Amino acid sequence: MSTTDTVDEPATAELRYRRLSPVWRSALLFSATVSFLFALYQAFNLGNMVGFVVIENRYFYAVLTILLPLAFFVFPASTKSPLDRVPWYDVILTLSALGISSSLVYFSNEIVDKGWEYSAPDYMQYLSIALWLLVLEATRRGGGNIVATIIAVVSVYPLFAGSLPGILEGSTESIGDTAAFHALSTESIIGIPFRAFANLVIGFLIFGVALQHTGGGRFFINLAFALLGHVRGGPAKVAIFASGLMGSMSGSVITNVLTTGSMSIPAMKRIGFQPHVAGGVEACASTGGVLMPPVMGATAFIMAINLDVPYRDIVIAAVIPSVLYFFALFMQIDAYAAKMNLKGMERIELPSVKDVMKDGWYYILVFGLLIYWLLVLNRESQAPFYATGLLILINQLVPSHRWSMAQFVKFIEGIGKLFAELAAVLAGVGLIVGALAYQSKVGTLAFDLLQLADNNVILLLLLGALASFIMGIGVTVTVAYIILAITLAPALTDSGLNPMGVHMFMLYWGMLSFITPPVALGAFAAASLAGANPMRTGVEATKLGTIIYFVPFFFVLDPGLIMQGEPAHIAQLFVSAMVGVVFLSTGLQGYLYGVGDLTKLGPLQWPLRFALVIGALALAMPGSPVIGFTNADLLMIGGACVVSVYLLGWLGMRTFARA
């Protein structure tokens, strides 16, 4: 790669979307534009300036009216549906969604004033049933059959609650009353997930799309190659840097893999990385990117609303865990490259930092200002709009980056397609919340779970980890998090654990399905780019991402690792965890700094590597009454293991050298 070359983002085939005619494309562009203006109106409180303040549920119904119909003409009903035209049945569904949602906008005052969520007139119950079905179908198209099936089953729970045993038993409700609660209350279709989308997520989604369409992905990849491409195992370290930055703003693992992996994976293979290792590196880096502040996807915004804290608090809490994850990944790659004697790329192949920064300096500026607006000025709803406006303004002032009208239209179209998917899925996810809330199960489930676990915190955490992982296999992270935040999180917080730590725990374990077989969607996507065996790539990703399986337990045991507590205590935990991460990485790869490649010792390597991993975990783990060890105890255990391994490893390597 010369200093003037750029890295293009992959031209992925959009087989999920219809090829829209000019009329339907105009409808998509109109909806995207109006929803953007609605969000802008709400975020900047423009109603106070013009003298027309929209009540909250009317705003949410208005956003639903604009975006729900998109799902029926943007996404085909099935793989057998036509992609080049909108069939008659989708026209009917589109118009039905538009008409029913519009009626809720019209009646929004009566819904609130007359309490229709509990006593709706008959005609409104019929409309609610229709909306319920439309939302389920829109969710199926946007989120897939598995997500829609789970949501459909849970959403009808109130219809059969009186017949269910044990902790699931409730009061049986009629279909009309249940549908009215789903459609008319602020706890279901327009509940927390959709409110988070309409109030906060829209702005960050627009920023993410603007970043990609202005060439932000290309800039971050080129910058990563310029900074790290020449060092030991350079292209793999490029994947960490580029995927971390892009993922923090895109919020999508698969998009991350396809964007950065198209350049990093071939470069890794070229310098000697095995295909499955290259794919595993990219899968781990892309998964970690979604956990990296400042933008962490829709789930983080929903978490902020659940915890009733500013989004800034979520960003701050995520800093240390994400640093530990990426540092562990970096150290594993470095140890692997050292063991395999893999060099970096030649300088002449790489762009220079000066040229890359000269071409895209404003991405760093906008990124920094976004963080400033979020963390310092605490303008979380307005920050992405400022950042997007500044990004597009500077982009248009730079001749080499300036959009044509066709590119601008493509940008708006990208926003519309993304909105269509997320609005449908989040409205559907709200049905899960609504079904449990209607039966008042949120509080009682927590009590029942505590009783089942006999107040054993470790058992509850293991149950939470297993449930989060299983949920993450079949559904989106957002769906998994919401179900567990309602059911399991209250039980964990009632047992005395930190609420922020508990909710972050759910988020992290829900993400693990992207790199863990048998599903490992992120690893499988990376394997397709690497030309590797998908399952072998998933196993390698699991190994490389080992630390992420433990980090959630660390911060839930001691909230110091999510920036809560005294600064000195936080610093001590962080330093100890970083040291532990270094030895964990070397133990997993079998390369001990200062000693060498432990795999040369044959069978003797295994007890040494096992002891190193145990010592590393002891150093990284915070002490807690829950596990029965203090920080001092763990430091002694970890230190003893590491010193012993160094001594035995040094003696073993000397013996090997003499032989």
pLDDT above 80 for 51: no
| Rounded mean pLDDT, 181-201 | 89
Q: Is residue 141 one of the residues assigned to a domain?
A: yes
Which of 240-254, 375-389, 437-451 reaches the highest mean pLDDT?
375-389
497 lies in some domain: no
State the pLDDT confidence band at 450, using cuts at 50, 70 and 90. Answer: low
Least confident of 26-40, 155-169, 635-649: 155-169
- Grouping H, G, I as helix, E, B as strand and the rest as coil, residue 223 is helix
3-state secondary structure of 590: coil
Q: Average the pLDDT over each of 123-127, 141-145, 178-182, 616-620 and give the range with the smallest value.
A: 141-145
Lowest mean pLDDT among 10-14, 286-290, 462-466: 10-14
Domain region containing 646: 570-659
Least confident of 171-180, 357-366, 491-500: 491-500
Higher pLDDT, 630 or 15: 630
pLDDT of 368 higher than 60: yes
Tens of pLDDT, residues 549-571: 888 888 888 999 999 889 999 99
The answer to whether residue 401 is domain-embedded is no
pLDDT reading at 276 higher than 70? yes
**Is the per-residue pLDDT at 3 higher than 60?**
no
* 3-state SS, residue 287: helix
- For 17-42, give the secondary structure using H, E and C: CCCCCHHHHHHHHHHHHHHHHHHHHH
Which pLDDT band holds residue 446 (cuts at 50, 70, 90)?
Answer: low
Domain-located, residue 38 = yes
pLDDT (tens digit per residue) in 572-614: 999 999 999 999 988 888 888 888 888 888 888 899 999 999 9
**Most confidently predicted of 7-21, 375-389, 475-489:** 375-389
What's the mean per-residue pLDDT of the chain? 85
pLDDT of residue 623 exceeding 60: yes
Residues whose CB is less than 8 angstroms from the CB of residue 87 and which lie 6 or more positions away in sequence, other chains included: 77, 81
Find which of 9-13, 21-25, 400-404, 437-441 is predicted with most confidence, using mean pLDDT.
21-25
| Percent with pLDDT over 90 in the chain | 30
| Residue 93 domain-assigned (yes or no) | yes
Domain C-terminal end among 193, 220, 251: 193
Q: Which residues of 496-514 are buried (b: 16+ CB within 10 A; e: fewer)?
A: ebbbbbbbbbbbbbbbbbb
d(CA 331, CA 545): 11
Question: Averaged over 260-277, what is the pLDDT?
Answer: 86
Q: How confident is the model at residue 108 (pLDDT cuts 50, 70, 90)?
A: very high
Q: Is residue 76 part of a domain?
A: yes
Whether the pLDDT of residue 408 is over 90: the answer is yes
Answer with the residue of higher pLDDT: 282 or 485.
282
The pLDDT assigned to 455 comes to 66
pTM, two decimals, is 0.81
| 3-state SS class at 597 | strand
Residue 629 gets which letter from DSSP?
A: B
Place 475 in a pLDDT band, splitting at 50, 70 and 90: low
What secondary structure does DSSP assign to 325-363, as a single string? HHHHHHHHHHHHHHHHT-----GGGS--HHHHHHHHHHH
Tokens 């489930």, residue located? 445
Going by C-alpha positions, the residue among 497, 510, 498, 638 that lies closest to residue 577 is 638
Question: How many structural domains is the chain composed of?
Answer: 2
Least confident segment among 102-116, 268-282, 454-468: 454-468
User: Would you say residue 468 lies in a domain?
Assistant: no
Q: Is the dihedral of CA 623, 627, 633, 638 positive or negative?
A: negative
414 domain-assigned: no
**What is the pLDDT, as a whole number, of residue 5?**
38
Q: Report whether pLDDT(657) > 50.
A: yes
Residue 301 or residue 26, greater confidence: 26
Alpha-carbon distance 68 to 102, whole Å?
11
The whole-number pLDDT of residue 179 equals 95
Going by pLDDT thresholds of 50, 70 and 90, the confidence category of residue 12 is very low
Across the range 460-467, mean pLDDT stands at: 78
456-463 long-range contacts (CB < 8 A, ≥24 apart) are 457/492, 457/495, 457/496, 457/497, 457/626, 458/626, 458/627, 460/488, 460/491, 460/492, 460/495, 461/492, 461/505, 461/553, 461/556, 463/488
For range 504-526, the mean pLDDT: 80
* Boundary (domain end) residue, out of 156, 177, 193: 193
What's phi and psi for 222, nearest 5 deg? Answer: -65, -40
Structural domain ending residue among the three candidates 165, 193, 221: 193
As a whole number, mean pLDDT of residues 459-472 equals: 74
